[in-house]
Structure 1
Amino acid sequence: MTDILERLAEREGQGPINQPGAQDRGDDRALERFLKFVSPKFIRGPDPELAENWLERMINIFAALDYTEERRVNFAVFQFEGVARAWWDVIRGKWERAQTPWIWENFTREFNKKFLPPLIQEKMEDEFIKLRQGISSVAEYEGKFIKISKYAPELVTNERKRIKRFVQ
């Protein structure tokens, strides 16, 4: 009966009350749920598309899990290895000194600044501007159009502009 009540309380987000180690068990279960999604490790390769794909995957996982901001940051950096881990250690120290809140928005800003710098974003914007269907199918063209349109948001601010640019 106690186990059932514990599980029910955890589902409600309260966790078991007045029991030593209860918070740790909740964190362990949250980590288990996160790892079940087979979240990718991030090492930092030379390809910015890898960074972008990793971040999109993390965003999708966290949307499904509905975790707190701080837990999202902690679990995302749990996936860092090598150069990415070293970079995060520097950022963590900076955040601690400046008392920066551990929220997802701060994390993505730092991540994008490092792994998707403005030069790369400008390159992707140029690619979007020059995008043509060519020999691609309409579905392939649409996929590419949607994927890189985020680099030129001012060109697709509303549905009418988006359609015009797509047809163009």
Structure 2
Amino acid sequence: MPSVFTHVADPLEADDWLRAVEKQLNIAQCNDLEKVLYASDQLQGAVQDWWESYQYGRPNNAPAITWQEFREDFRAYHILEGLVELKQEEFRALKQGSMTMAEYRDKFAQLSRYAPNDVAMDH
């Protein structure tokens, strides 16, 4: 399983961590509640502080937090929208240039997750 997540040195590390957690939880066939419980249990330090504030900010009678809510709000807080837009632009401008085919393929795969609509239009 992915390791404990304590802070965001590089905002894209937050996305990498979230994707790794989600992959493992899907393999384990966890339900929505189990996904949120497991992922939130892996948060420590400043990221745990975010989670506690997030929970306290919800009304007492609010329904349980869904995995989709957790994922979207985690990303919105830890990965600034402008950064995602920069990665989308980097993807759109990607050219092989002096990269080997393998390097280009890896860079394409890395950046394509930030521009899923562009990738879908490419097929």
Q: TM-score, normalised by structure 1?
A: 0.67
2:51 counterpart (82, 88, 109): 88
Q: Counterpart of 1:154?
A: 117
Identity of aligned residues (%): 25
Q: What is the CA deviation profile of residues 54-79 of structure 1, one whole-angstrom value per residue up to 9, with x for unaligned ones? A: 01110111011111111110110111
Q: Counterpart of 1:79?
A: 42
Q: Counterpart of 1:20?
A: none
CA distance in 2, matches of 1:64, 1:105: 17
CA distance in 2, matches of 1:70, 1:96: 18
1:61 maps to amino acid: Q
- Range with greater deviation from structure 2 (142-151 or 51-60): 142-151
User: Are the aligned partners of 2:5 and 2:42 in contact in 1 as well (CA < 8 Å)?
Assistant: yes
Q: What is the CA deviation profile of residues 116-136 of structure 1, one whole-angstrom value per residue up to 9, with x for unaligned ones? A: 121111111111122122222
Q: Counterpart of 1:133?
A: 96
Structure 2 segments unaligned to the other structure (5+ residues)? none
Q: TM-score, normalised by structure 2?
A: 0.89
CA distance in 2, matches of 1:40, 1:131: 31
RMSD: 1.7
Q: Report how many aligned residue pairs link the two structures.
A: 123
3-state SS of the aligned residue for 2:120? coil
Structure with more contact order per residue of length (Cα contacts < 8 Å, sep ≥ 6): 2
Structure 1 segments unaligned to the other structure (5+ residues)? 1-36, 163-168
CA distance in 2, matches of 1:120, 1:46: 14
Q: Counterpart of 2:31?
A: 68
User: Are the aligned partners of 1:43 and 1:82 in contact in 2 as well (CA < 8 Å)?
Assistant: yes
Structure that is richer in helix per residue: 1
1:142 counterpart = 2:97? no
The equivalences for 1:6-155 within 5 A come to 37=1, 39-97=2-60, 99-155=62-118
Please say which structure displays the higher CA radius of gyration.
1
1:154 maps to amino acid: N
User: Are the aligned partners of 1:58 and 1:76 in contact in 2 as well (CA < 8 Å)?
Assistant: yes
